[in-house]
Structure 1
């Protein structure tokens, strides 16, 4: 039964817009071939899907397609000898050519100065213009800090991923996809190349899992989260699968998140009463629960209050593809005076009494920092839990549009949480959760009137 749930979950992660992605790829490739190769109308020559799509590890809800387009060598000579920032001039030239096809879409040069971005209705295409080297790697422009050339080797990474997919009978791909689902559910930034690299290294450390089946997924994820949580926090980068180029992760948030995930599942067996509840906490509400288990484990609690069914989940409202960091904090006030911050109270294990005013606010929004002119929306979710919330019919859990702050009041006991979401282009690109709080006598909230 558990094996079937894992298999069904993996199937639910498969891309559902691949035809549209392929059409966009061919159209862009054709336009650039017409611009740079004497009017060629080829939809395939000189273009490569790279990133997670190229490595076949992308999942449903992906909000960006990375592609590489190889330019003629003469263009390298032209912009390498350019007076000033030749790399920026090259990107502007590619941008100008793409506008000839996409005059109605918003075409911008992305802030990191390495790609041209075309924004469509629900995802972006990032085009990296590049020049092919003799060894099969590529040189691409970086317009930052006056401009420079960098090297990348994505085709070797794609080849290694394809080998591992075949070697593990697709399970390398499935595990990489489930780690993406975990990342999106918990809400933290972790690059796709780092995910694939660490899963690749895991399979080499635990070669017995090369022959893994769905029946082995529970012990596999116990070992995988152990492997992730034991990564060195002082390590600045990991060597990518295949290419061995450095893959950086400044914050290394995945280490602490993996520790929490491991603690949730470490004692689980297929007979555990909380098995599916915990797996949903790790991988999200879309993780399938067998109907017989759902009736036995969840129905008694759910039907104790009509409001138990009102909880909304961001996955049901928007695509989710977490690509940016988001951090929310909460200021606590008593009698009009500030008494501290919620995360510090949680850290110090202080008890929060009733009748405290809470002001939740966004402390860090990486999306806004990187895309200052890009529109986005903020949504909040307040969820009360516990017997008192059920008795008072005050579980809440609706997802509502708001601004950078959300005010609440502590009013009765129970375990509760608040979530915040950044929505851009109809995609949830960042999310964060704060427990309110996990103490011996937590409390719920009501909207400040």
Structure 2
């Protein structure tokens, strides 16, 4: 990669391999404790909800009025005693099973492991670039191993369920996505990469040098970085070659730009750390939640824009500086209100560096929808419907709570989720619409009908098409047609499977029965979902005909 005069010292491949494996274990441990914290907090919410409900029901006047309808004093007395016993049992359970405290403990361990994880990323970058000697690398490795042992010493036990969720999140939901690192280039080679082709050539040179060292690894150039994906685990690196400037900033190549661009990551990292410390790590938690929201709802937002918006949110309120997990629902609600009320603008000034961060697509409409779902979920706290509302906001990372009616339902839940088939990392934009047709009538677009308040009736032809897509070909389209409502359940016609296009870029359907149906489209490129869109298809009546359609 580098000329002999700028060559880095010989690197111990076994040291780097060991550090990388240790990093992978820490990532899994960190994510497992995060998932265990979520599980415990969900149990705490259910515990409190049931206790409140039983306490209300056990009210003497209410219970006497309801059970008294039986007309039997013995049964009334027995029911009253039974419910009082349940209240006592639940009250004792809250003292024995302290799920909220356990959730906070797991969050504390996860926060400590997060610091270790980030330090491992820096160590890997320093070893790969030659910034550290082998001896310095071993010393730093030993320090991180001790920090890891210290975190584990006070860690409560985790469950297999938490590990399975962590595994699913890392392997399928991209909860540990690209790890960014700057590869500092020797200043002596800078003049060799001036001119129009210099930016592309330096990226290809870094790619080729990495391929020599990592022969069985997927490595490719992507605009301004070299993406590295190791086959031995699920973690991916984005290596950004750059020349360091005297003021601590970096010049980096961008194949889509006219010249080299400037980045100031040190200022951004410092601002992130300051805000994260000030908010008791809530900045990191909210940034992670926001990334889950953007991937679940197809919002084309870069990581720096997300971090900047989260930073700006905490800059205008101190309500959540010391908040625990019990306030995350309110924090999410207020954050989406903050987002939906943002004026439309082309760019923001990045946290710390104050450089321009361009807005790729307007996020306000979907933030407004998320805000409304948060209000509904908070109002439904303790009910199964609350989890469904939260899942609409944050995707499959929110587990669905099972109700007693699930075992007795008469229809099959056949819905599939794209996260179970492909990693999701939304970085592009796609829009879909539906052309509604009927013999003897002029075709019209579903979006225009809804804006005009025109109801969609049964017995219409439905042609779902991509109206715009920022993803460069080649790519693959996947679709989901989900029927909802009592009629869909009665017919056992929920559908919801992930399917291919009926023909290139098009999905053909037919309106059949009443319900608030949904169609989703996914753009898959290089095995990753990079864009997605969804359109609601509310059908107002039921056809007298019978067909396996919407």
Which TM-score band applies after superposition, normalised by the shorter structure? 0.7 to 0.9
Does 2:480 match 1:381?
Answer: yes
Aligned-residue offset at 1:88: 2.9
SS of corresponding position for 1:310: coil
Aligned to 2:432: 328
Query: Does 1 or 2 have the higher relative contact order (CA < 8 Å, sep 6+)?
Result: 1
Distance change in 2, residues 1:229/1:68 (3 Å)? same
Distance change in 2, residues 1:426/1:412 (3 Å)? same
8 Å Cα contact 1:3-1:214 kept in structure 2: no
Aligned-residue offset at 1:248: 0.7
Q: CA RMSD in A?
A: 3.9
Aligned to 1:414: 515
8 Å Cα contact 2:125-2:183 kept in structure 1: no
Q: Which has the larger radius of gyration?
A: 2
**Which of 396, 404, 427 matches 2:505?**
404
Aligned to 2:374: 265
8 Å Cα contact 2:512-2:542 kept in structure 1: no
CA distance in 2: counterparts of 1:271 and 1:99, whole angstroms: 52
Does 2:457 match 1:353?
Answer: yes
Matches for 1:164-203 after TM superposition, within 5 Å: 164-203=275-314
**Which of 115, 123, 132 matches 2:244?**
132
8 Å Cα contact 2:432-2:533 kept in structure 1: yes
8 Å Cα contact 2:483-2:515 kept in structure 1: yes
Aligned-residue offset at 1:416: 0.4
CA distance in 1: counterparts of 2:387 and 2:264, whole angstroms: 40
SS of corresponding position for 1:139: strand
Distance change in 2, residues 1:357/1:302 (3 Å)? farther
CA distance in 2: counterparts of 1:150 and 1:144, whole angstroms: 11
Does 2:221 match 1:109?
Answer: yes
- Report the structure, 1 or 2, having the larger strand content: 1
Aligned to 1:428: 529
8 Å Cα contact 1:226-1:259 kept in structure 2: yes
Give the total of aligned pairs.
411
CA distance in 1: counterparts of 2:229 and 2:400, whole angstroms: 36
Distance change in 2, residues 1:401/1:355 (3 Å)? same
Does 2:183 match 1:74?
Answer: no
TM-score by length of structure 1 reads 0.79
Aligned to 1:159: 270
SS of corresponding position for 1:238: strand
Aligned-residue offset at 1:131: 1.4
CA distance in 2: counterparts of 1:40 and 1:280, whole angstroms: 47
**Which of 80, 94, 97 matches 2:206?**
94
Unmatched 5+ residue regions in structure 2?
Answer: 1-37, 46-99, 139-169
Segment of structure 1 superposing worse, 22-31 or 239-248: 22-31
Segment of structure 1 superposing worse, 194-203 or 156-165: 156-165
Aligned-residue offset at 1:355: 1.2
CA distance in 2: counterparts of 1:22 and 1:409, whole angstroms: 55
8 Å Cα contact 2:513-2:541 kept in structure 1: no
TM-score by length of structure 2 reads 0.65
Distance change in 2, residues 1:427/1:225 (3 Å)? same
What per-residue deviation string (whole Å, max 9, x for no partner) do you get for residues 229-278 of structure 1? 11111x221111111111110322x1111111112223533647543222
8 Å Cα contact 1:21-1:65 kept in structure 2: no
What per-residue deviation string (whole Å, max 9, x for no partner) do you get for residues 66-100 of structure 1? 221001111223324x5x53333322332332232
8 Å Cα contact 2:458-2:541 kept in structure 1: no
Distance change in 2, residues 1:96/1:426 (3 Å)? closer
8 Å Cα contact 2:333-2:375 kept in structure 1: yes
- Report the structure, 1 or 2, having the larger helix content: 2
Segment of structure 1 superposing worse, 417-426 or 188-197: 417-426
What per-residue deviation string (whole Å, max 9, x for no partner) do you get for residues 7-27 of structure 1? 97997xx899x9999999977
Distance change in 2, residues 1:427/1:95 (3 Å)? closer
Unmatched 5+ residue regions in structure 1?
Answer: 46-57
Aligned-residue offset at 1:28: 7.7
8 Å Cα contact 2:226-2:239 kept in structure 1: yes
Aligned to 2:418: 314
CA distance in 1: counterparts of 2:347 and 2:253, whole angstroms: 22
